[in-house]
Structures are given as C-alpha cells and as structure tokens.
Chain A
Amino acid sequence: DAGITQSPRHKVTETGTPVTLRCHQTENHRYMYWYRQDPGHGLRLIHYSYGVKDTDKGEVSDGYSVSRSKTEDFLLTLESATSSQTSVYFCAISESLGRGLGDEQFFGPGTRLTVL
C-alpha cells in the first residue's frame, strides 16, 4: 500500500470555524490531490498540486484553499466551514499525469468532517 496518511480521521466542527486537514505521503510522489465524496456525487476534485508551492483548482474549489510547502505534505483549509462542506475528504497521490502504468492515483484512508 502507498504510504499516505490523513489527519484527523474524524472531525466535528461548527459553522464559521476554520478547519485544516492534512495529507502526508512517504512515496515522494510529485502530484497530490484533494477530493470530497458525497452521496450521489462520487468523488469530486477540490484542488491538486503538481509540485511544491504549485497548486491549481479542481471542480469544486470554492470555499477551500490548499498549501504545499514540502513534497510530502498537502494541506486543505476550509477558511470558514459551512454545513455544505460536511463530507468525506480523500487525499490522493500519483507519480505523474501520464497515461501509463504508474500513473494511477493512490488514495489515503479519508477524513470524515461534520460541520454543525
């Protein structure tokens, strides 16, 4: 299994509070991703990173920001959490964005976030 950890694994917070989720990898992969999974929507990309300090928006980036100061860490921040951000958040990593073997994304165990 790819070495990906997410912290915290579970979090309950209140509307309007800031929240930061952390993804840590030990694979030295260049690409890192944040997804959210909601019933009826599958997995949707929030933000991704293609290198240290290089990030870009995904499909559902509003209300989220990210930072990557080291290869191994990718942080997802909800500046002011809302109930619509209640979800399960997955981090993923990949070696490249190509289309051959080794380009698959490997996922972390997920963080269940509840915003009351």
Chain B
Amino acid sequence: DQQVKQNSPSLSVQEGRISILNCDYTNSMFDYFLWYKKYPAEGPTFLISISSIKDKNEDGRFTVFLNKSAKHLSLHIVPSQPGDSAVYFCAARGYGGSQGNLIFGKGTKLSVKP
C-alpha cells in the first residue's frame, strides 16, 4: 500500500527547459513534504520542502507546488541544467510520534540533455 507515489520512473528534458516532477499521496495526515535529490553512489540530499499550510515554496530555480485537495505536489526546475540529472525522491511526513517519520516515493530519474 503505497502512500507516496511517483508514477513516472524517468523523465528526459532538454537543457534550459522546465522539468516537472510529480508526486501523489494518499494519507491526509501528511502535512509536510520534502524533495530529495540523489546522485549515483551518494546519499540523498535535501532540496526543498513545503508545509501543508502553503501551496507554493520557491528556492532559486526550484519551486514546489502543493495541491491539498488533489493530494498532489510537483517540483518545477527552471531552467533545467545537465547537473540536475539525478534521481528525485518525494517524501511526506505525518504528525506526531512515529508518524513524524518520512515516507518516500520510489523516485523519478531526471535526465537533462545538453
């Protein structure tokens, strides 16, 4: 029973264009969402997060949008660069106790072509 879903295993984008990575969740108790980026042979690194009280959070080229009614979030990367090529994980956190632990999606591999 997958609570956090990244339905696109891979995405290929041209350099300079927008990359949009999507994530859906099923648990309405999730109230904090994070995106992590992972290069091969390295640990995931935190990219950006959003609280459920917001619908948008921006950090440089990275913007996360949250649609609570649809239980959907997306990560926009504009403009995309070859160095953005990595696996991106969406994660969600519930409220309190062990619910505070992160639930990760399976990841989307982004390839940015020069």
Residues of A within 8 A of B (CB): 4, 33, 40-45, 48, 56, 58, 90, 92, 97-100, 103-110
The chain B residue with its CB closest to the CB of A40 is: B106
Q: Give the distance in Å from the alpha carbon of A107 to the alpha carbon of B43 in the complex.
A: 5
Closest CB of chain A to B16's CB: distance in Å? Answer: 29
Number of interface residues of B (CB under 8 A): 25
Q: Give the distance in Å from the alpha carbon of A107 to the alpha carbon of B102 in the complex.
A: 13
Q: Are B46 and A90 in contact (CB under 8 A)?
A: no
Q: Are B101 and A48 in contact (CB under 8 A)?
A: yes
When distances are taken between beta carbons in the complex, the residues of chain A under 8 Å from B98 are: 56
Known A42-B107, A43-B89, A104-B49; contact A109-B42, beta-carbon cutoff 8 A: yes
When distances are taken between beta carbons in the complex, the residues of chain A under 8 Å from B41 are: 109-110
Q: Are B44 and A45 in contact (CB under 8 A)?
A: no
The chain A residue with its CB closest to the CB of B46 is: A104
Q: Give the distance in Å from the alpha carbon of A93 to the alpha carbon of B34 in the complex.
A: 15
A-B contact pairs, 20 of them (CB 8 A): A33-B101, A42-B6, A43-B91, A43-B102, A43-B104, A90-B43, A90-B44, A92-B43, A97-B100, A97-B101, A98-B100, A99-B51, A99-B93, A100-B51, A105-B46, A107-B36, A107-B45, A109-B42, A110-B42, A110-B43
